[in-house]
Amino acid sequence: MLASRSAATAHEKFSLLNCRRLPGRMNTTEASVVLGFQEHDIAPLIRAKLLVPLGRPAVNSPKYFAAVDVVERAANAKWLASATKALAKHWFRKNQQKSAYARSAAQLALSDR
């Protein structure tokens, strides 16, 4: 349906959501549209074990998800709440690391003077 690793247009997203029957497996783009998350949020959900890809894909290979599992999770308010909480924690940690790096770089620049 949607091309993997490309920015899905609004028309493509709309056509996926209006499908009579979803495909059996979805790539990360399609899963993110159905779940209502951004495509870059899928990797942290996999790492948090809240979303499980089909098979045992390598770290750098495309991930596919069972459509029935994705739709079931999209309808589960508790799962959505825990996924949102996990994503907030993930981005909080990433932002803390970035600001800590910026602070250390600033201190290093001041000490070089």
HEC-encoded secondary structure of the chain? CCCCCCCCCHHHHHHHHCCCCCCCEEEHHHHHHHHCCCHHHHHHHHHCCCCCCCCCCCCCCCCEEEHHHHHHHHCCHHHHHHHHHHHHHHHHHHHHHHHHHHHHHHHHHHHCC
Structure confidence at residue 64 as a pLDDT band (50, 70, 90): very high
The whole-model pTM stands at 0.74
| pLDDT (mean) for 67-74 | 95
More confident site: 13 or 73:
73
| pLDDT (mean) for 27-38 | 92
Structure confidence at residue 22 as a pLDDT band (50, 70, 90): confident
